Chain A
Amino acid sequence: MTPKRKQRMIFVIVLVVGFGAATALALFAFQSNLLYFYSPSQIEAGEVATDQMFRLGGLVVEGSVARHADGVTTSFDLTDTADSITVSYTGLLPDLFREGQGIVAQGKINTDGVFIAQEVLAKHDENYMPPELAEALQAAGGSHPESIPKTQ
């Protein structure tokens, strides 16, 4: 390798390492701003300023979904298996909304400790399976397919 090329190679390496380090530091500094949502445990632990809008993510607790008399308001509990928070939402829920499903809600906590959501998004997990298999799993295990971590 000629000295000229060696010099250019060093330039490339310095460039990549330099920018890599700068990016890593920047991402590390903005760590908390990069989270799309917070978990109920993080709220309980006081990691989030609850006087402003934020996103809350968790699983809908089985049996906690209640429709209110007005027909458009739904309340349900979101959990990360350690803590849970009650969410109230007025509006249309996404198709994937169901008990046991991962949900991300945006809104604010009111004085009663209820999370008033303005937007509810369903989080799809990484599990894919045909409906027959899901039914078979449900019949065999008697539980929601999502709580079964492995598919064959």
Chain B
Amino acid sequence: MHFIHKYGSPNYFYQWSGTWLKILSALTLILMALGLYWALIISPPDYQQSETVRIMYIHVPSAWMSMFTYVVMASAGVVAMIWRIKVAEIVVAQSAIIGASFTLLALVTGMLWGKPMWGAYWVWDARLTSELVLLFLYVGVLAIYSAYEDPRTGAKAASILAIVGVINIPIIHYSVEWWNTLHQGPTVTKFDSPSAPLSMLTPLFIMFFAFKTYFFALLFARTRNALLSRERHTSWVQEILEK
């Protein structure tokens, strides 16, 4: 478990994440531009939903990322709980903010799609309700984190909620299969025969990778900033400031 201490040392983290931040930012720019152009202009309309289908290219990646971010946050929570790594504690708080934003984006785009397609902005089915619970979990983690004077104590308490809440992730994913829901079942993860043509799946996957690189770029940028501010009195930050 030596690598956890190595990559998690504030000084070394700041160095290696700097390189990755540049690569990820460049990738995000390219993928986002290509993905949005393909999704909003090149890809065909749907036979039933016509142009409304384009909401999917934002909605589905944000919904996937809302769950992925939670897993990242909970994993950082485990590292923070067991190894007490400072960087992991900061990652918990920063991914909570980003995750809450992805969740909100998924909920809002879903509502905008639901009104014209289903006939209602919101229904209390298992998928929509469990995704709303996810938003509350993120907000709860943030609230606990900032409720303590000492950020390290706050991180410990917030990590516990982050870890416990991971149970919600399989519930969200399988809600459409376990219970009758108004929300449709999976389209893409039926890998043997996805129920969408390549002309729609290609822009969706580009958007998915764009969201993923965007997430990591944002996470690194935010964590680096928080780390500098938290460690501002240490010698390695002073050295960076002098350069």
* Beta-carbon contacts under 8 Å, B182-219 to A: 182, 184-187, 190, 193, 195-200
Q: Inside 8 A of B15's CB, which chain A residues have their CB? A: none
| Residue A134 CB within 8 A of the other chain | yes
Q: Inside 8 A of A1's CB, which chain B residues have their CB? A: 1
| Residue B118 CB within 8 A of the other chain | yes
Interface bits A1-38 vs B (CB < 8 Å: 1, else 0): 10001001101100110011001000100010011111
- Find out whether the CB atom of A145 lies under 8 angstroms from the CB atom of B117: no
Q: Inside 8 A of B171's CB, which chain A residues have their CB? A: 23, 27
Task: Tell me the nearest residue of chain A to B50, going by C-beta.
Answer: A131
* Bound form: Cα–Cα A36–B193 in Å: 27
* Beta-carbon contacts under 8 Å, B116-132 to A: 116-120, 123-126
Q: Inside 8 A of A11's CB, which chain B residues have their CB? A: 81
- Find out whether the CB atom of A122 lies under 8 angstroms from the CB atom of B197: no
Interface bits A107-142 vs B (CB < 8 Å: 1, else 0): 000000000000111111111111111110000000
Task: Tell me the nearest residue of chain B to A101, going by C-beta.
Answer: B48
- Find out whether the CB atom of B118 lies under 8 angstroms from the CB atom of A132: no
| Residue A151 CB within 8 A of the other chain | yes
Task: Tell me the nearest residue of chain A to B168, going by C-beta.
Answer: A23
- Find out whether the CB atom of B120 lies under 8 angstroms from the CB atom of A36: no
Task: Tell me the nearest residue of chain A to B77, going by C-beta.
Answer: A12
A-side interface size class: 35 or more
* Beta-carbon contacts under 8 Å, B149-165 to A: 160, 163-164
- Find out whether the CB atom of B184 lies under 8 angstroms from the CB atom of A123: yes
* Bound form: Cα–Cα A57–B163 in Å: 36
Q: Inside 8 A of B200's CB, which chain A residues have their CB? A: 128, 130
Secondary structure class of chain B's binding surface, majority of residues: loop
Q: Inside 8 A of B126's CB, which chain A residues have their CB? A: 34, 36
- Find out whether the CB atom of B119 lies under 8 angstroms from the CB atom of A120: yes
Task: Tell me the nearest residue of chain B to A106, going by C-beta.
Answer: B123
* Bound form: Cα–Cα A106–B116 in Å: 18
- Find out whether the CB atom of A35 lies under 8 angstroms from the CB atom of B184: no
* Bound form: Cα–Cα A120–B118 in Å: 9
Quote the shortest CB–CB distance from A136 to chain B (angstroms). 10
- Find out whether the CB atom of A130 lies under 8 angstroms from the CB atom of B164: no
* Bound form: Cα–Cα A38–B83 in Å: 49
- Find out whether the CB atom of B196 lies under 8 angstroms from the CB atom of A127: yes
- Find out whether the CB atom of A132 lies under 8 angstroms from the CB atom of B181: no
| Residue B240 CB within 8 A of the other chain | no
Decide: A130 near B46, CB < 8 A? Known: A34-B126, A123-B118. Answer: yes
Contact of A130 among B44, B81, B179, B187 (CB under 8 A): B44
Task: Tell me the nearest residue of chain A to B187, going by C-beta.
Answer: A126
| Residue B53 CB within 8 A of the other chain | yes
Decide: A5 near B196, CB < 8 A? Known: A123-B184, A128-B46, A131-B44. Answer: no
- Find out whether the CB atom of B47 lies under 8 angstroms from the CB atom of A16: no
| Residue B49 CB within 8 A of the other chain | yes
| Residue B82 CB within 8 A of the other chain | yes
Decide: A15 near B164, CB < 8 A? Known: A36-B125, A57-B180. Answer: yes
A residues contacting B by CB (< 8 A) are 1, 5, 8-9, 11-12, 15-16, 19-20, 23, 27, 31, 34-39, 57, 93-96, 104, 119-135, 145, 150-152
| Closest CB pairs A-B (n = 7) | A130-B44, A134-B47, A94-B119, A128-B196, A36-B125, A126-B187, A131-B47
